[in-house]
Structure 1
Amino acid sequence: MRIRTTTAVTIASALLLLPACGRKAAENAMEQQIRQETGGDADVDMNADGSMQVTTKDGTYNAGNNQLPEDWPTDAPIYAGAKIQFSGSANGTTGKPGSAAVLTTSDSAADVVTYYKAELAKQGWTISSTMEAQGTSIFGATKGTRALSLLIGSAEGQTSITIGIGEQ
């Protein structure tokens, strides 16, 4: 699955604009920016708690609401106690469904890697590739017609977990 970089950057920018511009003005500005960047319409809903949902023809993206997409597969493990920073679900450029989430935890990257190696196997996933470089671990796993990618890295006392899942 490919989430448009421009949409993700626009979401982050809108979160910064919200306090200064007001919710409705920030929603309108973001919708216009997405239209300019992608050539398509977008519906942006910002909430008083700072969370937002962006819906485009490619799918739905959530930020700041600590929720996974409604269609998140039950066999795609989420690290216990991790905070959801961003999540999205889209058909993307392939037309095949997929979802992604970015999580953070104060647990060590080593603990997170150990968890995912065990939990993916327990859920029936086959780890098809692994790579470790400069404190970052990258996994690829498959199950049936689906593929899962996982990136785990630490910085400043936080471990970041990026997980994506979709059809191959």
Structure 2
Amino acid sequence: MTETKKQTSPLVYIGIGCLILLFLIGVGMTVFFKFFAKKAIETVIENKTGVNISDAEQGKMTFTDEKTGAKVDIGSNKVPDTFPKDFPIYPGAKVTSSLSGSQTGENSGFWLTMTSSDSVEKVTAFYKTEFAKNGWKVDSTFSANNTVTETVSKSGWTGSLAITKDEEATETQIVIILGQDEK
């Protein structure tokens, strides 16, 4: 008996080649569209909102209303430059988030969150001393379960200070909310 060798049809090779080519085109188009679609979307967002996407990726965003001049800054993990200089900032505290807002010729406001490895008692004692030194009036104080909240005021500014530490937490959280009184 003689063996007959079957020859593979050239159509099979053409079909396999087409599949490989389609796969390579698909991968190439995916990479191409990921890059260019991302750039196109970023450009549209930046143009419509005024937010710089590279800043947003770093955790910072600024929104400005062109009509009113109202401005909101979010992020940057630092005390905003326009934060009242006479409001005490706990030494060594790490700023974990910040938000500031203002409107041209109008009021400003701030929300600042910080953490410290010190106890609630130590942080509270610091603020009690520093508020008195800097002329801030403590209007009310609430204290319960490792949490202290104070409302404060000083010549055109009002706000609150919250100092707290959960039982499981390793750090004390300090939250400052300040706003200018209406002019």
The question of a shared fold, defined as TM-score above 0.5 by the shorter chain, is answered with yes
Q: Secondary structure at the match of 1:112?
A: helix
Shift of 1:49: 8.6
Check 1:112–1:46 CA distance in 2 against 1; reply closer, same or farther (3 A cut). Answer: farther
Alignment match, 2:93: 82
Give the match for residue 174 of structure 2.
161
Q: CA RMSD in A?
A: 3.1
Check the 8 A contact 1:44/1:55 in 2, yes or no: no
**Aligned pairs (5 A) from 1:48-67:** 50-57=58-65, 58-63=70-75, 65-67=76-78
Structure 1: segments with no counterpart, 5+ residues = 1-20, 36-40
Contact 1:106 / 1:159 at 8 angstroms: preserved in 2? yes
Shift of 1:134: 2.3
1:132 aligns with 2:143: yes
Higher helix share goes to which structure? 2
Q: Tell me which amino acid in the other structure corresponds to 2:60.
A: M
Residue identity in the other structure for 2:128: K
In structure 1, how many angstroms separate the alpha carbons of the residues matched to 2:156 and 2:108? 12
Equivalent residue, structure 2, for 1:9:
none
- For residues 4-35 of structure 1, the C-alpha deviation after alignment (integer angstroms, 9 at most, x for no partner) is xxxxxxxxxxxxxxxxx99x95x94xx59xx8
Helix, strand or coil: the match of 1:111? helix
| Structure with higher strand content | 1
* Letter in structure 2 aligned against 1:87: S
Return the alpha-carbon distance in structure 2 between the equivalents of residues 61 and 105 of structure 1: 23
1:43 aligns to 2:56 (yes or no): no
Question: Structure 1: how far apart are the matches of 2:53 and 2:138?
Answer: 37
Question: 1: CA distance between counterparts of 2:135 and 2:178?
Answer: 14
Contact 1:102 1:161 in 2 (8 A): yes
2:122 maps to 1:111: yes
8 Å CA contact 1:45–1:52 kept in 2: the answer is no
Count of residues in correspondence between the two structures: 136
- Structure 2 unaligned residues grouped into runs of 5+: 1-33
Residue 102 of structure 2 is aligned to residue 91 of structure 1: yes
- Asked if structure 2 preserves the Cα contact closer than 8 Å seen for 1:125 and 1:143, the reply is yes
TM-score computed with the length of structure 2 as normaliser: 0.63
Give the AA of the match of 1:111.
K
Aligned 8 A contact 2:160 2:177 in 1: yes
Distance, in Å, in 2 between the alignment partners of 1:121 and 1:90 is 27
So what's the TM-score if we normalise by structure 1?
0.68
Q: Provide closer, same or farther for how the CA distance between residues 128 and 67 of structure 1 changes in structure 2, counting only shifts above 3 A.
A: same
Which residue of structure 2 lines up, in the alignment, with residue 11 of structure 1? none
